Amino acid sequence: MAIRILLADDHEILRKGLCALIEQQDSFEVIGEAGNGLDAVRLARKLTPDVVLMDLGMPDLNGIDATRQILETNPKIKIIALSMHTDSRMVDRILRAGALGYILKESAFEELTQAIRMIIKGGTYLSPMVARELVENLRKTPENGRPSLLQSLSGREREVLQLLAEGCTTKEIAGKLFVSPKTVETHRAKVMEKLQIHSIADLTKFAVREGLTAIE
């Protein structure tokens, strides 16, 4: 029986190329594609794939929070992060969210297929460069290091922060999250209070620095 895969990446050319490579494998089947994090969550809930290949830097909802939301609904889904970055903070956050693998986009396709098969069998997989960076960071980090302020935000507050950083208006955020504009304003106020940041420009800088979004 083929391993059913959902692809989530906002770069269509990369997504289509990866889809073509996967479809050449007899034991793999691509059952859906998502171009942003919100669509990834919706499709995962609808299609219940075996594996989600999750880009981290997607619009509307980043791959880390999308991973968290997918697994809250269906913890049996296996998620493998796809990223261009070896930043240990990103690796730590996606693994804490529940991903079982982390693959660099520069990796050979054979490494990805190996990771998928390992994870389906109950294992985990980190690209060698990622594992090395993670170990080096752990060695350099003092045991009493303070957690990121990002951890003080709720899941919905992180969503609002990301959308604000991506330039969405209050009305647009309300539409994307299916809440009222007043609710968005309440979340924004709480985010600013918790982070002690009082301008959208500074919120945007914080979101980019913490890897919550990527402004291209």
Structure confidence at residue 134 (pLDDT): 72
Look up residue 128 and give its two tokens. Answer: 């060698």
Structure confidence at residue 136 (pLDDT): 72
Nearest 5°: the CA angle 56, 61, 67 is 60
Instruction: List all residues 6 or more positions away from 58 whose beta carbon is below 8 Å from its beta carbon.
Output: 8, 9, 10, 35, 36, 37, 40, 66
Structure confidence at residue 215 (pLDDT): 57
Domains of the chain: 3-140 (3.40.50.2300), 149-209 (1.10.10.10)
27: exposed, middle or buried (Cβ count in 10 Å: 0-12, 13-18, 19+): exposed
Q: Are 61 and 38 in contact (CB under 8 A)?
A: yes
Beta bridge partners of 78: 51
Adjacency order of strands within the sheet including 3-8: 28-34, 3-8, 51-55, 78-83, 101-104, 125-126
Structure confidence at residue 141 (pLDDT): 55
13-16: Cβ within 8 A, 24+ apart: 14/105
Per-residue pLDDT of the chain (216 residues; tens, 9 = 90+): 899 999 999 999 999 999 999 989 989 999 999 999 999 999 999 999 999 999 998 999 999 999 999 999 999 999 999 998 888 888 888 998 999 999 999 888 999 999 999 999 999 999 888 888 777 766 655 544 445 688 889 989 999 999 998 888 999 999 999 999 999 999 999 999 999 998 888 888 888 888 787 655
Look up residue 47 and give its two tokens. Answer: 């299609």
In angstroms, rounded to a whole number, what is the distance separating the alpha carbons of residues 15 and 40?
13
With H, G, I as helix, E, B as strand and everything else as coil, classify residue 164. Answer: helix
Q: What is the phi-psi region of residue 165: left when phi exceeds 0, alpha when psi lies from -120 to 50, beta otherwise? A: alpha
